[in-house]
Amino acid sequence: MNPIEAGNYTIYFNEDCYDHLQKILAIGGYTGIFILADTNTSQYCLPNFLAQLATELPIEIIEIEAGEPNKSLETCTEVWHALTDLGAERKSLIINIGGGVVTDLGGFVASTFKRGIDFINIPTSLLAMVDASVGGKTGVDLGVLKNQIGVINNPVAVLIDTNFLTTLPQMEMRSGLAEMLKHGLIADKTYWDNFSDLGNMTTDDLGALIHWSVEIKNNIVEQDPNEKGLRKLLNFGHTLGHAIESHFLNSATPQLHGEAVAAGMVLESYIAMAKGLLVEEEYDEIRSVILSIFGTVSFTAKDVEDIIGLLVHDKKNEGGRVLFVLPDGIGSAVINKKAENILIIKAFEDYQK
């Protein structure tokens, strides 16, 4: 699979990854490597990675607890301390090997440690491969509020080795599919059409779709890296999705990021239909494809009230107005759209009907 140029860095795939890593290490002038993994990726991914890493540089491994509740400033503090205690310096390189929690948090830690050191992302979850590891957004949650603290800063490279997916739990695979569906819905109907029948999908098909998804995201990010306008498209499903994820974060029924975004995309598509942007057949198609993969989340009236209350914290809000990205057809979307609370409530009713 061809590498993808992403502004000042490159995204490499599969067999190309390790050759290019050696080249980066050879010319980077680094004094040491600090690998950040979580409790799962240090077990399932790190041994394979280390077996392919040939370097004379000293290597230290820093492990964090797995899971979204650990994408916090407290974990950052632990990692900053570990880096300090282990002697990290300006010319150290951080390699983040993990899902979106590790790449988001590790990118933020690297971008702020000693005012910024280089980092490489090695995504090991489907969601991190197609979305979180590319585009330069780094950061952590503040309490339950998603991604409230962070910076946009690119890695030195992203290395996508789809072999890591063999140990990824099925529910995490499904979570990653949500962001792939999003890429189709906002930008490419042909891409979306690949997901109507997942039953016949082969590993090769999946590899090609991952590459295609990264191309779609990168194409949007390159046109608007600092999210002044167009990049907001990538937030489709996330206004309600983030609020759903926050609402259930510390509950007995936490929703994975992709699961929450999947529900958010159905809800926001309903709003788009109600506003005349989508025709009913398109809404029905989006709803049935997504619900056939993800099932339906149950929301009580109190859940809906609380989720709507959380929308005031969304990062896209301007002047206190909650703004949505809404599809205006399959493969196209518009930004900065308002929706009345009554319409949001109706969207939840239709979602659960």
Strand partners, 35: 61, 95
Looking up tokens 């490159």 gives 10
Strand partners, 95: 35, 120
Closest approach of ligand NAD to the CB of residue 14, in Å: 14
Of 227 and 282, which has the nearer Cβ to ligand NAD?
A: 227
Sites of contact with ligand NAD (CB under 6 A): 38, 40-41, 44-45, 66-68, 71, 98-102, 104, 124-125, 127-128, 131-132, 135, 137, 146-147, 164, 167-168, 172, 175, 179, 257
Q: Are the C-beta atoms of 328 and 334 separated by less than 8 Å?
A: yes
Residue 322 CB, nearest distance to ligand NAD (Å)?
Answer: 19
Residues in the chain: 353
CB atoms within 10 A of CB 346: 16
The nearest distance, CB 171 to ligand NAD, in angstroms, is 9
Residue nearest to ligand NAD (CB): 100
Q: Is 165 or 267 the residue whose CB approaches ligand NAD more closely? A: 165
Question: How far from the centroid of its chain's Cα atoms is residue 248's Cα?
Answer: 18
Smallest gap from Cβ 327 to ligand NAD, in A, equals: 18
- Pick between residue 62 and residue 273 the one whose CB is nearest to ligand NAD: 62
The count of C-alpha atoms lying within 13 angstroms of the C-alpha of 228, restricted to the half-sphere facing its C-beta, is 5
- CA gap 351, 337 in Å, rounded: 20
Cα separation of the two ends of the chain: 43
| Least distance CB 58 / ligand NAD (angstroms) | 25
Task: Give me the least distance between CB of 159 and ligand NAD, in Å please.
Answer: 13
The span from the CA of 42 to the CA of 56, in Å, is 21
Q: Which residue number, 31 or 167, has a Cβ lying nearer to ligand NAD?
A: 167
Q: Decide whether 126 or 278 has the Cβ nearer to ligand NAD.
A: 126
Q: Is the dihedral of CA 13, 230, 343, 195 positive or negative?
A: negative
Closer to ligand NAD by CB, 14 or 147: give it: 147
Query: What's the one-letter identity of residue 168?
Result: L
Q: CB-wise, 28 or 254, nearer to ligand NAD? A: 254
Q: How far is the CB of 221 from ligand NAD (least distance, A)?
A: 9
Closest CB to ligand NAD among residues 124, 154: 124
CA 71 to chain centre: 13
Q: Please, what is the minimum distance in Å from the beta carbon of residue 251 to ligand NAD?
A: 17
* Residue 262: closest CA among 181, 141, 338: 181
Helix spans in the chain (H) = 15-27, 41-44, 46-51, 73-85, 100-112, 126-127, 170-187, 189-193, 203-223, 238-248, 257-274, 280-294, 301-310, 341-352
Tell me the two tokens of residue 163: 């072999």
